[in-house]
Amino acid sequence: MHLARVARGSSNFDIRTFDCPKCGHTHIVTIATDLVSDSRSLHARAIDALEEAQAMSPGARRNDALKKAGVLRRTADNQGVISAKRDKRRK
């Protein structure tokens, strides 16, 4: 897979589209762009964001915080998948 397009999503997020030239499969990933300033791992940031969101009182701010925590978790999971595929040796 290779990065085909990057589009602006909602605030602090990019929508990245990956295409496979062999099978034509397309994979779309939402990635938080404000992650560059934090040196901790994505998994640690996702856990912290979820705990912070769960501590908030119900309402729109909590919903937004839960969405951000979910995006961080998916970004961490997708980064692991993409990295694993890059490490495979070609035959």
Question: Between these two residues, 3 and 86, which has the higher pLDDT value?
Answer: 3
The values of phi and psi at residue 9, to 5°, are: -100, -150
What residue numbers bound the domain in which 63 lies?
2-87
Q: 35-49 burial by CB neighbour count: b if 16+ within 10 A, else e?
A: beeeeeebeebbbeb
* pLDDT category of residue 79 using cuts at 50, 70 and 90: confident
Which positions ≥6 away from 52 have C-beta within 8 Å?
65, 69
Q: Which pLDDT does position 85 carry in this prediction?
A: 54
Q: What is the pLDDT of residues 30-71, one digit of tens each?
A: 777 665 555 567 777 788 888 888 888 999 989 988 888 888
Where do we find the tokens 């940031």? 45
Q: What is the mean pLDDT of residues 61-89?
A: 73
Q: What is the pLDDT of residue 6?
A: 79
Count of domains for the chain: 1
